[in-house]
Structure 1
């Protein structure tokens, strides 16, 4: 975990690792696209990609409705942002990373044993009990937690944040239940429900936020909120998470899981898992320290700025920017990562060093092709993309969010590579090995954010934090690759990975240059406002993509054929 908050409600960063979508990894092979390990991974990845795409679309509709109801900057937006992130941060700290690092490898092994279901039952029972107890205690501690994450000048904003927190923190239990049940389904080869469940969450939230707007219009000042408004808004967010967890229950039986409440972990084999969980907790706690610094700096930024506070990026602006930053990662990297993580765990368990090395190399290369283009696209199109998302907002908030998007987007390729390295650590259940890397990353985020606060104007504080996150991803990837080299037989195919990234990087720079010139032309001669933003995104996106693909061809980047191979084969098969 870096100094960011990844909402578990949208499974953006679940354990797994991107891999080659064409060639079998680690020496494994399948019969065809419909049977065997390779076909299973492809079907799982395709199903998850479609679920993630629909969830992302609805998630952005949710953000649009949220912006209409409370704005993207200002007191109410920042108050809800902090409160609604509390269960996400607490989940990542107390359960998310621990469950992600422990559950998949343990469940994969459990279902290979005669008493595997009993093991899974005990793990689920322990997890549910832990989540329930933590949710109650942390809900009672809402005022303290709010003070830790927020540092605004307004007492009314603190009071509103605390009121929202009482409604939102119980989401912790249901996020945990969703993760537990979803990972069990993944281990049983049922990938779709886990990725499609957030669709229900988004629909419920959109309905609740929309009803709020119908009843009260936009309410962006903390003093104007009453108990009924808080209950509808906060309750809608929590009800969406409840539905997201419950919808997985029917799929358990269809996947052959017959859960029974079994208490007691003694003799269940959880001792080793507990060791992994402890070190995962340590790593997440380190990352959380960085996030606390970012959150407090972001909450303080609007209070001391010259000019309208709504033109200054705060916590809500950070959330909008992070959602855009995560979109390419969640649509491509995570979809393949989750489907392939089971195989990666099996390779690590079987001592197949060559297989793990191949998965890591192939994943870094293929995902890098996409993230380099996506990062360049976000940098060039930051303003029109934010304009689409915040269509009801004036230019000030749009510019504030766009600046943070650019700062984060430059680190997108490094984030994809760091995520892949994490999955290798998780496959080997080596959470302890990641701790030194996480310490270094957190130090960069904290130092960079505080430096931005000290040297930059208030308007740039959150963008400075975003840039420090990008630097931390680069550092994390370099340190992790060096550490993994020893585990993977002294080599990690680094030269091959670097050559591919260097060529793709040149292609991305060419695409960015052509795209920026096209954007300037459209701004000069095309329509403005929302229609202009739509046209700019569509035309510049196509121009950059074609330029990038052409440059990759000229530079003889072989991974392009691997990336596009399945699509081309399907098109030829339909003729």
Structure 2
């Protein structure tokens, strides 16, 4: 944290484009945010300790503390200064920086420090130790080194892309004579990327955190069969949820942008829509990679994730550079979102190949393939129906009218999101149910059963899910067979004296 704070001016020069005044402001914001490195480190370490102890509640909810504190700062900012859009750079001073970047850093600190409470309840008491002996570096050293490599490669690519996106408004003004505020730049992309990360953070990170200890225990006991089944189940369940969010982002990008970020205008939301849609196509693969990465870590393998990350990031950078040399500046941010998704599609097979080698060439391929084919069909149907519903709805509500009041537009955005999401959910779930998707029953049956106890109208639906679950269970028992690689698993088990998995 100290080194990064000292290097802030250099980092600002590398990452941020634009005028000297803009770089100075960026440097000020960065200095306020640098302590977050230390507190995010504490949060990550304590969170993983709690996850290993299977205490997930406080780890999952600690981010609420950060959000409350940061929202408090932003709330005071809005009360005093309003939206503060299109303000000169001189507007930003110590007070405005404190209420924005300062409160954000305080929130991150609270998010980390609050985890000491459940840690103490687990019987683990913090004792400062300034040495590096007996902290697991012998076994985790290589994994940590490869992980650091991922961070370095990621930051190099982010540095290049961020430098370009921060320069887009200035380039567009110079080349095309456009108003800088009418061109999608780095702020637009960051807003779109933040929305893209919402389901990723809520679902993929939660599943990866919960499944990692279980897979680690199976691999540590050389039970590849159980680890494979847990991994396959996690990937299939996450894909069902993530593809639903992909459909939502593709169908209603502008309304959902306005609903989640009410301070922006329709024009700003429209600028966010294209990169958000492009990022959404890669959401399922991005989420799957996180779970697969944790699985490699359970094998104490950091090299395979590094190889994939390097290939994916370099592919992303190559695609982005090609795009900016062909397209006008107004499309550069959208091109970046497209490059991210394209890079995952092109490089993901290599990740699967490396993962298959870890599981003796058996990844439960049949179940994974069948489930993802069903999910793809359901997603396409949902996108078509969603577009047929949302377009007339936007027209009837006159949503894009420049004369609509800001609060009314926000209410309409929420209304459109609610109606469209409900319709898409019904179509998506119905399609998966018609395709007899077992994972849907696994996810939904317990929830619907509990709801049916309180809402009698849901009893018929609960009965359908119950009968489907029984039918699938009988079908699985009829077709139950010994895994075709069980012999390889046995050999793996016999190698318990080997240090290398």
Query: What TM-score comes out, normalization by structure 2 length?
Result: 0.84
Question: Does residue 70 of structure 2 align to residue 199 of structure 1?
Answer: no
Mapped partners of 1:533, 1:330: distance in 2: 23
Alignment correspondent of 2:470: none
Alignment correspondent of 1:296: 163
Mapped partners of 1:531, 1:208: distance in 2: 24
Deviation of the 1:572 alpha carbon: 4.8
Deviation of the 1:537 alpha carbon: 0.8
Deviation of the 1:462 alpha carbon: 1.3
The answer (yes or no) to whether the contact 1:170–1:238 under 8 Å persists in 2 is yes
Deviation of the 1:267 alpha carbon: 4.9
Aligned residues: 440
Alignment correspondent of 1:438: 309
Mapped partners of 1:138, 1:330: distance in 2: 26
Alignment correspondent of 2:466: none
For each residue in 1:323-371, what CA deviation from the matched residue of structure 2 results, as whole angstroms up to 9, or x when unmatched? 2112222222222221121111111111111112112211222211111
- CA RMSD across the alignment: 1.8
The answer (yes or no) to whether the contact 1:294–1:462 under 8 Å persists in 2 is no
Mapped partners of 2:353, 2:198: distance in 1: 28
> Which residue of 50, 53, 69 corresponds with 1:188?
53
| Gap runs ≥5 in structure 1 | 1-134
Deviation of the 1:268 alpha carbon: 4.8
Alignment correspondent of 1:418: 289
> Which residue of 138, 141, 144 corresponds with 1:274?
141
> Which residue of 397, 401, 422 corresponds with 1:542?
422
Q: Equivalent residues in 2 for 1:471-486 (5 A)?
A: 471-486=342-357
Deviation of the 1:524 alpha carbon: 2.2
CA shift in 2, pair 1:228/1:329, >3 Å: closer
Mapped partners of 1:256, 1:384: distance in 2: 47
Q: Equivalent residues in 2 for 1:174-323 (5 A)?
A: 174-219=39-84, 220-305=87-172, 306=176, 307-323=178-194
> Which residue of 158, 162, 167 corresponds with 2:32?
167
CA shift in 2, pair 1:188/1:523, >3 Å: same
> Which residue of 223, 230, 233 corresponds with 1:359?
230
For each residue in 1:520-539, what CA deviation from the matched residue of structure 2 results, as whole angstroms up to 9, or x when unmatched? 11122235333332221111
Deviation of the 1:495 alpha carbon: 2.7
CA shift in 2, pair 1:326/1:268, >3 Å: closer
Alignment correspondent of 2:7: 141
The answer (yes or no) to whether the contact 1:142–1:166 under 8 Å persists in 2 is yes
Deviation of the 1:514 alpha carbon: 0.6
The answer (yes or no) to whether the contact 1:379–1:409 under 8 Å persists in 2 is yes
Secondary structure of the structure 2 residue equivalent to 1:551: helix
Query: What TM-score comes out, normalization by structure 1 length?
Result: 0.74
For each residue in 1:81-125, what CA deviation from the matched residue of structure 2 results, as whole angstroms up to 9, or x when unmatched? xxxxxxxxxxxxxxxxxxxxxxxxxxxxxxxxxxxxxxxxxxxxx
Largest Rg, 1 or 2: 2
Question: Does residue 440 of structure 2 align to residue 560 of structure 1?
Answer: yes
Deviation of the 1:434 alpha carbon: 1.9
Secondary structure of the structure 1 residue equivalent to 2:238: helix
Alignment correspondent of 2:195: 324
Deviation of the 1:269 alpha carbon: 4.1
CA shift in 2, pair 1:226/1:416, >3 Å: closer
CA shift in 2, pair 1:351/1:390, >3 Å: same
Mapped partners of 2:92, 2:448: distance in 1: 54
Q: Equivalent residues in 2 for 1:494-573 (5 A)?
A: 494-528=365-399, 529-572=409-452
The answer (yes or no) to whether the contact 1:421–1:477 under 8 Å persists in 2 is no
The answer (yes or no) to whether the contact 2:208–2:290 under 8 Å persists in 1 is no
> Which residue of 314, 321, 337 corresponds with 2:208?
337
CA shift in 2, pair 1:470/1:175, >3 Å: same
The answer (yes or no) to whether the contact 2:254–2:266 under 8 Å persists in 1 is no
| Gap runs ≥5 in structure 2 | 400-408, 457-501
Deviation of the 1:377 alpha carbon: 1.2
The answer (yes or no) to whether the contact 1:417–1:477 under 8 Å persists in 2 is no
Alignment correspondent of 2:20: 155
